[in-house]
Amino acid sequence: MSTLFRVAAGVAVLGLLSACGGGGGGSTTSATTSPVSLNVPVPQTVSTSDALTFTAKASSSAGTITKMFWQIETQTLGANPLTGVTNADCKTVTTDSSGTTCALQVSPPATLTADYTYKISFFAYDSAGNSNTGATTLKVLQSASTTNNPVAKTGADATVTSGDKVSLTCAGSGGTPASSGTSYAYQWVVSDAAGLTLTLANAGAASASFVAPVVTQATAVKLQCRVTDDKQRTGTATQTITINPVVKPTVVPISYSGGTVQPGTVGTLDGSKSAMYDANGNLTTGTLYYLWQYKSGPSGSTPLSVNNAGSAVASVLFPSVVTTTSTYVFTLNVSTSPIAPDGTSKDVVKQLDVLFYVSALPQITLTPVQQIIQVRSGDAVQMQVNASASNTVPVYYAWTQISGSPLATLVGANSSKAGFIAPAVSATTTMMFRASASYQPVTVSNPGDASADLIVQIQP
């Protein structure tokens, strides 16, 4: 069997099958019409950046071997070429009774953004003008990269039918993940649509999806996942989905709803453009049944209720208080038979995810009407802040005394204006108050999204 071993110089050498009667594992290529026979290395996969040696042997029953050379082809789109290529022209050879041997030296590229595959071909000619060609492959795993790029790993390749919802999964590892928050940034792109139109849902996340378009023959499409780490280094991997044509009438869920909406608005869920196709991939008519379901929202959020969920067109009311841009996902179910509330039907149910992005409310800023207030003992003190915030969502306030004594008894502590009666003091006394504001009631667990401090100086 072919072996991979290290010599003292740190070079990995690919073993070969002997020309005849020797150890097994090599690949002997010999054209039936040519007296030139070849012995080339078996395909190899490496995960280090060590230099490699490929050794091939040629012999001829019609004469001596007069010319040999190697040719390297990149099989992965965008792959960096092999480096340190030596003796590709076979100027250095050895000859014995079994034939002429030529050794090619190469090294994997320093930077790999994915697994790279190379085709390495060997050509030989004899003195009578006969020739033969043999080939092997070298696959270099991304882990061989010296730049410590992240590694992307997609889900397994899959075969689906037109109209199916196709789920795509990707996971990142290695590189330099972020120390807090999301470890990696993900992006799905269509690398080969095979002439079809693919619309990806949630393309900026580790898990994405699309509905398999209608085809009339088995068609393979390729989706690439890009993983970016905290150092902006990128690794990629590709998931291949083979789409088969339908063998009986099928539905394809279609929705043009979704996108960015404002807090507190009513979003329309419209699946009325869904269609039915026959076994030849042609549009046909028939009754379609629908069900809209809430699928997911921000972590810890309350599930949203879908109004008119059993119709082609439904609606949903989004929360009025959204402090960070939030993603809500709804699933459109379509079938040729009625669909139960749990999404089941006696016929096949096709699904499509529809995403809404609810914009965050504008950040609240507080500005004191008067930063420093000077009064005398017994005076009425009035403190006020103006808030820059949404015009449609109410703002909640809370006032607290954060320094100075005695402790003031505040009036209107839950409004933009608060006041108290200045206590009797024998010396100039300074008190500091803080106004806090939020789109939700200000409590201990919610200290507010904005604050402003005021100083009150009391003279005797």
Residue 18 sits at the vertex; the CA angle it makes with 17 and 20, to the nearest 5 degrees, is: 120
Say whether both 36 and 140 belong to one domain.
yes
Based on DSSP, count helices (H) and strands (E) in the chain, helices before strands: 0, 36
6: pLDDT strictly greater than 60: no
Looking at the structure, tell me whether residues 335 and 416 fall in a common domain.
no
User: In terms of domains, do 219 and 310 share one?
Assistant: no
- Length of the chain as a residue count: 460
- Answer whether 245's CB lies under 8 Å from 235's CB: no
From 103, 128, 144, give the residue that closes a domain. Answer: 144
Whether residue 406 has a cis bond before it, omega within 30° of 0: yes
Domain identity same for 428 and 392: yes
For the chain, percent of residues with pLDDT exceeding 70: 93
The answer to whether 72 touches 86, Cβ cutoff 8 Å, is no
- State the pLDDT at residue 26: 52
Phi, psi dihedrals of residue 143, rounded to the nearest 5°: -65, -10
Q: Which residues pair with 237 in a beta bridge?
A: 225
Q: How far apart are the C-alpha atoms of 353 and 200, rounded to whole Å?
A: 10
Q: Which of 159-163, 247-251, 366-370 has the lowest mean pLDDT?
A: 247-251
Q: How confident is the model at residue 147 (pLDDT cuts 50, 70, 90)?
A: low
pTM assigned to the model: 0.52
For residue 401, the model assigns a pLDDT of: 96
Residues 308 and 383 in one domain: no
Residues 398, 384 share a domain = yes
- Is residue 144 classed as helix, strand or coil in its secondary structure? helix
| pLDDT tens figures, 209-221 | 999 998 888 999 9
* Residues 179, 121 share a domain: no
Sorting pLDDT into bands at 50, 70 and 90, what band is 264?
very high
Tell whether 9 and 138 lie within a shared domain: yes
For residue 412, CA distances in Å to 267, 371, 415, 427 come to 38, 18, 6, 27
How far apart, in whole angstroms, are the C-alpha atoms of residue 376 and residue 384? 19
Query: Which residue range(s) make up the domain with 302?
Result: 250-358
Q: What pLDDT does residue 30 have?
A: 42
The amino acid at residue 392 is T
pLDDT of residue 23: 33
CATH of the domain at 371: 2.60.40.10
pLDDT at 185: 94
Q: Are 298 and 177 part of one and the same domain?
A: no
Contact 113, 134 (CB under 8 A): no
Least-confidence region, from 22-31, 136-145, 443-452: 22-31
Round the average pLDDT of the chain to a whole number and report it.
88
Is residue 402 very low, low, confident or very high in pLDDT (cuts 50, 70, 90)?
Answer: very high
Tokens (6 digits) for 50: 């060590």
Structure confidence at residue 19 as a pLDDT band (50, 70, 90): very low
Last residue of a domain, one of 244, 274, 306: 244
Query: Residues 338-363: pLDDT tens digits?
Result: 999 999 998 889 999 999 999 999 99
Name the domain count of the chain.
Answer: 4
Q: Final residue of a domain: which of 358, 381, 400?
A: 358
Residues 189-203 have a mean pLDDT of: 92
Is residue 247 packed enough to be buried (19+ CB in 10 Å), middle (13-18) or exposed (0-12)?
Answer: exposed
Same domain, 131 and 87: yes
Which of 141-145, 349-353, 364-368, 408-412 has the weakest average pLDDT? 141-145
Asked if residue 445 and residue 321 are part of one domain, the reply reads no
Answer whether residue 404 shows pLDDT above 70.
Answer: yes
pLDDT at 254 over 80: yes
Least confident of 100-104, 405-409, 418-422, 445-449: 445-449
In this structure, the answer to whether residues 24 and 129 fall within a common structural domain is: yes
Q: Which pLDDT does position 216 carry in this prediction?
A: 84
Q: How far apart are CA 387 and CA 367, in angstroms?
A: 7
